[in-house]
């Protein structure tokens, strides 16, 4: 980014997120940082809701969780 090999970057997750420090990337004019809020749009929240319903429905009707959902083996008993 500093050398200009990349035109820019938008990063939603970074090392200094919420630790009180300022990321060195924040000083670069071609970088936009967000504190883990990039997915907080109406469209993405709707899609997350649809996916949650899909996973719950699959578990309820088929007793399986679609990959890559992680469930404890105890949950499947």
Give the model's pLDDT for residue 73. Answer: 67
Q: Is residue 15 part of a domain?
A: yes
Residue 46 has pLDDT above 90, yes or no: yes
Instruction: Compute how many other C-beta atoms are within 10 angstroms of the C-beta atom of residue 12.
Output: 14
Residue range 6-33: average pLDDT?
85
* Active-site residue list: 17, 36
Q: What is d(CA 52, CA 75) in angstroms, rounded to the nearest whole number? A: 16
Q: Please tell me whether residues 22 and 45 are part of one structural domain.
A: no
Give the range of the structural domain holding residue 44, as residue numbers without chain letter: 38-67
Mark whether 30 and 10 lie in a shared domain: yes
On whether the pTM is more than 0.85, the answer is no
């Amino acid at each position: 980014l500093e050398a200009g090999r990349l035109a820019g970057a938008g990063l939603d997750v970074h090392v200094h997120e919420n630790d009180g420090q300022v990321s060195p990337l924040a000083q670069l004019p071609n970088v936009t940082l967000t504190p883990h809020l990039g997915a907080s749009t109406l469209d993405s929240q709707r899609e997350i809701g649809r996916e949650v319903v899909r996973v719950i429905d699959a578990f309820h009707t088929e007793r399986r969780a679609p990959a890559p959902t992680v469930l404890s083996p105890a949950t499947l008993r």
